[in-house]
């Protein structure tokens, strides 16, 4: 084989690889975004049957949204739960992240870490059922608190991961330098450690809120009958009265969450989506 054909073979191999790589990316997007497309189409379809073939374009499903009281109330409920759960998850997650990265050696072991990641691994239905049982057996009247705690515990591992990762990357040299310059540990925390953690704190807040806002399994078990989070309202509407309004609402939610994430990236200069 001459050097020339050898060279060409190698180039062909290279092209084949590139085609394969592009195809993989395209397929990946198709699988992720494909199922969403029909919902987008139905949200603008001028037909009261859902789903239906295209019968014309309309925006009135979006304006109809406001006439559904349970959706408006559900949005508020979900926002309240989301804010509560995020606050709880930050408190739990940030302190745990410090323990894992700055605490004694036994706290940073693989065993401890896998226990901390538990809430992600254990099926939410099991967790939801378990919490419900405890609440019923103790005959507590908890209102939204039960849901806030459940959501908070569920999203805390994401906060731990992000914040512990940031602390690990930060290392201890910044803190040591600040101490040498005369700052007590408390002042090091407020003047160096937390300001440097800002991106991780913002990112984990956004993730925590989003995960809580869209959560179904935990809410299904724990939502009080008079205060239903938005996803549960949607689910119940879907079961009783299928309407294109649901498609409009889903699309609106997706766009709003994306826009919020983009705004955080843009204005707070934090990487969320990249």
- In whole angstroms, the minimum distance from the beta carbon of 17 to other proteins comes to 34
C-alpha distance from residue 121 to each of 129, 222, 232, 248 (Å): 15, 19, 23, 32
To other proteins, the closest distance from the beta carbon of 108 in angstroms equals 14
Taking the complex as a whole, the smallest distance from the CB of residue 110 to other proteins amounts, in Å, to 18
Q: How far is the CB of 199 from other proteins (least distance, A)?
A: 10
Q: Which stretch binds other proteins (CB under 8 A): 36-44, 124-132, 192-200, 225-233?
A: 192-200
DSSP symbols for 73-113: HHHHHHHHHHHHHHHHHHHHHHHHHHHHHHS-GGGGSHHHH
Can you count the helices (H) and strands (E) in the chain?
14, 0
Scanning residues 172 to 191, which ones bind other proteins (CB under 8 A)?
173-174, 176-184, 191
Residue 11 gets which letter from DSSP? Answer: H
Nearer to other proteins, 142 or 179 (CB): 179
Regarding 107 and contact with other proteins (CB under 8 A), the answer is: no
H/E element holding 117? none
Binding string, residues 41-80; x marks residues near other proteins by CB under 8 A: ----------------------------------------
Are 124 and 195 in contact, with CB atoms under 8 Å apart?
no
| Side-chain-side CA neighbours of residue 11 (13 Å) | 6
Complex with other proteins: residue 3 or 180, whichever CB lies closer: 180
SS3 235: helix
If binding means CB under 8 A, how many residues of this protein chain bind other proteins? 18
72 touches 245 (CB < 8 A):
no
Which parts of this chain interact with other proteins (CB under 8 A)?
Answer: 105, 171, 173-174, 176-184, 191-192, 195-196, 198
């Amino acid at each position: 084989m001459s050097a020339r054909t050898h060279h060409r073979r190698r180039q062909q191999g290279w092209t084949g690889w590139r085609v394969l790589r592009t195809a993989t990316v395209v397929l990946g997007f198709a699988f992720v975004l494909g199922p969403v497309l029909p919902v987008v189409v139905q949200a603008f379809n001028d037909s009261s049957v859902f789903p239906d073939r295209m019968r014309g374009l309309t925006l009135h499903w979006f304006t109809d949204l406001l006439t559904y009281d349970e959706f408006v109330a559900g949005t508020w409920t979900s926002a309240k739960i989301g804010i509560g759960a995020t606050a709880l998850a930050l408190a739990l997650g940030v302190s745990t992240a410090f323990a894992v990265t700055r605490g004694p050696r036994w706290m940073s072991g693989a065993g401890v870490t896998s226990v901390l990641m538990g809430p992600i691994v254990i099926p939410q239905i099991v967790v939801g059922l378990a919490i419900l049982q405890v609440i019923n057996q103790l005959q507590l009247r908890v209102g939204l608190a039960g849901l806030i705690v459940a959501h908070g515990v569920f999203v805390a591992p994401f906060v731990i991961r992000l914040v512990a990762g940031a602390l690990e990357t930060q290392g201890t040299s910044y803190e040591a330098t600040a101490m040498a310059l005369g700052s007590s540990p408390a002042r090091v925390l407020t003047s160096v450690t937390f300001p440097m953690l800002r991106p991780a704190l913002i990112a984990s807040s956004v993730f925590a809120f989003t995960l809580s806002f869209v959560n179904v399994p935990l809410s299904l078990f724990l939502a009080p009958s008079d205060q239903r989070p938005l996803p549960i309202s949607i689910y119940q509407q879907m079961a009783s009265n299928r309407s294109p309004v649901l498609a409009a609402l889903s699309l609106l939610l997706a766009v709003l969450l994306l826009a919020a994430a983009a705004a955080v990236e843009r204005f707070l200069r934090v990487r969320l989506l990249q």
